Amino acid sequence: MRLTRPMLALTGAVAALALAGCGSGGEDGHQGHGEGPATATGSLEHLAAEVKCKPNMQTDADEIRQALCDNRAGKFVLATFATDRGQREWLNGAKDYGGYYLVGRKWVAVGEEKTVAELRSTLGGTLEEGSEHMNPGGSHNRGGHHG
């Protein structure tokens, strides 16, 4: 099965809206951008095993593999990509819909802020946040001055 860019963006948008778009910020309104472990690598199944979830496969294509996961951290989408470019294109489209993203090399976990922050303690990676227009209470929606 070959997925086009619009299909990949739609897949990302659905994942972001389903799992992360309605989440609220943490109690103190801060994201966990502190240092974490070395960023994990591997197949979708390997990454899922690292965070103790049995992946429910949703997309299994050459360019992207995507599964729904549920573990003690919460519900999230785990996606792996064939290329760095494919990953970046997916992220660029998905982030328009808000949400919180844990990003590693050729993989992304999408979920509520607290979920991806907890996943980071095992998988490493970088926390990224979607569009401020779709993330009520997100870090760039606190109001006040940014100076």
pLDDT digits (tens, 9 = 90+) for 21-70: 433 333 333 344 456 689 999 999 999 999 999 999 999 999 999 999 99
Beta strands 64-71; 74-81: pairing state: antiparallel
Q: Which residues pair with 133 in a beta bridge?
A: none
Residue of 26, 32, 19, 12 lying closest to 95 (CA atoms): 12
Q: Which residues pair with 110 in a beta bridge?
A: 77, 101
pTM score:
0.71
Average pLDDT, the chain: 77
Q: Return d(Cα 57, Cα 36) in angstroms, integer.
A: 27
Residues in the chain: 147
Q: Return d(Cα 71, Cα 93) in angstroms, integer.
A: 26
Q: Tokens at residue 24, please? A: 């609220």
In contact, 60 and 93? CB cutoff 8 Å: no
Q: Return d(Cα 53, Cα 63) in angstroms, integer.
A: 22
Q: Which residues pair with 67 in a beta bridge?
A: 57, 78
In contact, 105 and 111? CB cutoff 8 Å: no
Position 134 scores a pLDDT of 52
